[in-house]
Structure 1
Amino acid sequence: MTVEPDPQPARETLLRPVRLGNAFEDTVGRLLETIRLGVLAPGESLPPERELATRLGVSRDTVREAIKSLSEAGYLVSRRGRYGGTFLADDLPAPSGDGVRFSRADIDDTLRLREVLEVGAARMAAGRTLTAAERETLWSRLRDVRGAALEDYRRLDSRLHLAIAEAAGVPSLVPLVAENRMRLNELLDHIPLLARNIVHSDEQHDAIVMAILAGDADGAAETMTAHVWGSASLLHGFLDS
């Protein structure tokens, strides 16, 4: 007789406290990790929201938003009634991108290079005395991405990040950021746009630009680091093979 391993230890290990700087993204990533690694079986229920919030160290609102986003993406289903709750879908979404697969190493290589380039760019931009034209470009790019339609979001997001690289005042940095951004967008194009993530990204964009314009190099670098690793949580959750 074969004894199936108890999934509880693995579940408890994976559903561990998240980084509060990216609470929503990390919560989505943790839940996807339990799904993709088979800790949750098709049709199996998630722990109650209150329990998830306690395990992950986040608010119930954050858990609710993460569950809503994964339900919209087809990973979870909610059922009402006596035996209701949130359950793993019987049929999970097929991988997008015509079967393209990305490994953790692929994702980490892109994201670690992004951290080196873009955190450095934000810090250097904040350390400079920007011209009026450079300041206006940052404001303009920030306004554009703030009001972007979903279909334009990633393009305008890229333009803002390139404007930050330009504001660093190192011309040879810009093509490096652009090349890395192409790799990043290739990854991002294989995951769904989540409304709550866009709201959080916009808040971080505001904080990064404000820190740069205020000459707060440490604040700009710190917020850019959190921004980069918020994307990492989602990319690893959806794409790790």
Structure 2
Amino acid sequence: MAVGERVSARTAVFAPLTSGGRAEAVVQRITESASLGLLADGEQLPSETELAAQLGVSTVTLREALASLREQGLVETRRGRNGGSFIRAPGDPTKTDLRSRLSALSVSDLRDAGDELASVSGAAARLAASRASTDNVRRLLTLAERIGAAAGVGDRTRADSRFHIEVAVSAASERLTRSEVSLQGELGLLLWGAASAAGHAAESAEQHRAIALAISREDAGLARDLAERHVEQNMHRLIEARIELHGGGGRGR
């Protein structure tokens, strides 16, 4: 399908920023892309001029962002003929760091983010059911199995997020793909940091397979319902973890 072939997860990584071209937005984009595995460890970024043009920022802004990423150990810049800026994939966050990040979000923040994610993921699954190519479906079925074999928060996050991003890719929508990447970058690590590993991974693998099969059968309504239900269950788990951090209080905060 021609329209589907023009969309990929990489489209979202290097798409123009919509937040005013700030260095912080560039840092966030690169950090999220590396944590989700969309930018691989050791991968060379485009030249400064090319990357600035792709992201829609000035070279000054891009250099400021790269300096910040270097300080965080997420980018290494090499000089010389074979030089450039290279991705250094982040390690798994500590439980303390994840708890701190989760605690900084209110229940209302999580609920709003969950509503947005359910809307994006549901729409992507519905459209994928009518637009996915045979290759898209094959990729979805393969990705659906990965989360069950993943070990560690980072690997589970990447396996889970890549499946959902691929659903958006299969929907042949650049906007939905960009939204899915952004939301997975915001919530993925928190979800898997709060999850009980084995049981949640097995449950997610089953739900991923069900979504992929609904898409393969071109059942748009079922694909949307399954995707929305999957997100709602995950966000309920995350909200409960946030409440427990505060001793059962603060449900509305």
**What's the TM-score, normalizing by structure 2?**
0.53
Deviation of 1:170 after TM superposition, in Å, equals 1.2
Structure 2 residue matching 1:127: 3-state secondary structure:
helix
Are the aligned partners of 1:162 and 1:177 in contact in 2 as well (CA < 8 Å)?
A: yes
CA distance in 2, matches of 1:118, 1:105: 20
Deviation of 1:223 after TM superposition, in Å, equals 1.0
Deviation of 1:150 after TM superposition, in Å, equals 3.5
CA distance in 1, matches of 2:194, 2:151: 17
Are the aligned partners of 2:157 and 2:189 in contact in 1 as well (CA < 8 Å)?
A: no
Are the aligned partners of 2:143 and 2:162 in contact in 1 as well (CA < 8 Å)?
A: yes
Partner of 2:134: 132
CA distance in 1, matches of 2:102, 2:220: 41
| Mapping 1:18-167, distance limit 5 Å | 96-97=99-100, 100-128=103-131, 130-151=132-153, 152-167=155-170
Deviation of 1:186 after TM superposition, in Å, equals 4.5
Deviation larger for 179-188 or 104-113: 179-188
Gaps in structure 2 of 5+ consecutive residues? 1-94, 244-249
Partner of 2:47: none
Instruction: Report sequence identity in percent.
Output: 26
Does 2:206 match 1:234? no
Equivalent residues, number: 148
Are the aligned partners of 1:123 and 1:221 in contact in 2 as well (CA < 8 Å)?
A: yes
Distance 1:132 1:237, change over 3 A: same
Which amino acid in the other structure matches residue 136 of structure 1?
Answer: R
Partner of 2:76: none
Q: Deviations over 1:55-108 (max 9, x none)?
A: xxxxxxxxxxxxxxxxxxxxxxxxxxxxxxxxxxxxxx9882378432111101
CA distance in 2, matches of 1:149, 1:97: 22
Q: Pick from 209, 212, 215 the counterpart of residue 212 of structure 1.
A: 215
TM-align CA RMSD? 2.3
Partner of 2:14: none
Deviation of 1:124 after TM superposition, in Å, equals 0.6
When Rg is computed on C-alpha atoms for both structures, the one with the higher figure is 1
Which amino acid in the other structure matches residue 147 of structure 1?
Answer: A
CA distance in 1, matches of 2:176, 2:226: 20
The runs of at least 4 consecutive aligned structure 1 residues that moved more than 3 Å come to none
Are the aligned partners of 1:101 and 1:239 in contact in 2 as well (CA < 8 Å)?
A: no
CA distance in 2, matches of 1:145, 1:238: 21
CA distance in 2, matches of 1:184, 1:96: 13
Q: Deviations over 1:7-35 (max 9, x none)?
A: xxxxxxxxxxxxxxxxxxxxxxxxxxxxx
**What's the TM-score, normalizing by structure 1?**
0.56
